Amino acid sequence: MGKKNSKEAKALRKAKVQAKRNKFNNPVPRPKEYVKHFGYVPNEPRFYNAAIAWSNSQMNLALRTKEQIVSYVKEGIEEGYVNPIGTRSGKQVVYISCFRTGDYSISNEVNEMTFDLSSAKEEKSFYAIRHIEDIGSGLGLSFNNKKFELNAPFYFPLNTFMVPVDSLDKLPDKAPTDKELVSLGKQEESVQAMNEHELDNLLCASNESELRENYEFNENGLIIEEFNGKDGEVLYQPKKKEETWLKCTLSMPFMVVDKGIMFPQKEQMETYNIHNGGAN
């Protein structure tokens, strides 16, 4: 009898099959605020208490309501999402990507999908926690592209903010207005403003016309705001214009359909055409 057909080999194969069956008999529980879990979602901390979840070899995605995000962080479900380095302000933050959904009308001309946000009667916000190890590039940490693609789908710098842990309960429930999005950007800036050396570099690298286009001026020149840092350090940030803020903040729209999730074309997001049209 060959080794592949030995009693030991058969028993091992049987045990492996049973282990796989047992795994798929234990999906993550569906929370009270449930929208859709696509296929089998394992009972792992990454997916706990997620209204929308998807897990396969290409993508791990968990989208939560504001209440679910607050509960998830408060209960300390897993490690890795609170910035271990901290911020210059001394506040602990969580990296949050903002999403919104509603009954949008969609046009698909020349293979370019465009969302008409003005068509939605009621929109709701959902959020994804971004783990430091997954988005480490740019944070001074090691970066693994495969882990980024797997664990940080639909991540864009424009829709991701550093949110202080003690401010998570202030996230919008409904689709954020432009004013609320700008507030998220300003909050991030206040906890991680520039030191004096970085401010000097910014001013040296920019000409006056660029500064006047993006920042506010008064009779004394460029308006530079000051913030309190750790250990008494003073931090600085040139004051952006409101229209500048709207170019660098967004909540990404999506729609849940039977077989997946639909997002607008990347080009539409990059041209900042998915804001609320100046809502207050």
Burial (Cβ within 10 Å: 0-12, 13-18, ≥19) of residue 63: buried
Residue pLDDT, tens place only, 94-106: 899 999 998 887 7
The predicted model scores a pTM of 0.82
Query: Do the beta carbons of residue 199 and residue 206 sit within 8 Å?
Result: no
What integer pLDDT is reported at residue 124 of this predicted model?
Answer: 93
Quick one: three-class SS letters along 161-180? EEEEHHHHHHCCCECCCHHH
pLDDT, residue 278, reads: 32
Cβ atoms within 10 A of the Cβ of 72, count? 22
What is the per-residue pLDDT for 68?
Answer: 96
Query: Positive or negative CA dihedral for 61, 129, 49, 172?
Result: negative
**How far is it, in rounded angstroms, from Cα 182 to Cα 210?**
20
How does pLDDT run along the chain (280 residues), one tens digit per residue? 456 677 777 778 877 776 666 666 789 999 999 999 998 999 999 999 999 999 988 899 999 999 999 999 888 766 666 665 567 888 888 899 999 998 887 776 656 667 777 777 788 999 999 987 777 654 545 556 778 888 888 888 889 999 998 899 999 999 999 999 999 999 999 988 999 999 999 999 999 999 999 999 999 999 999 999 888 899 999 999 999 998 889 899 898 888 888 887 655 554 444 444 333 3
How buried is 205 (Cβ within 10 angstroms: 0-12 exposed, 13-18 middle, 19+ buried)? exposed
Cα–Cα distances (Å) from 267 to 103, 168, 271, in that order, read 21, 30, 6
Give 28's contacts (C-beta < 8 A, 6+ positions apart).
37, 41, 42, 43, 44, 47, 48, 50, 53
Q: What is the Cα–Cα distance from 264 to 280, expressed in whole angstroms? A: 24
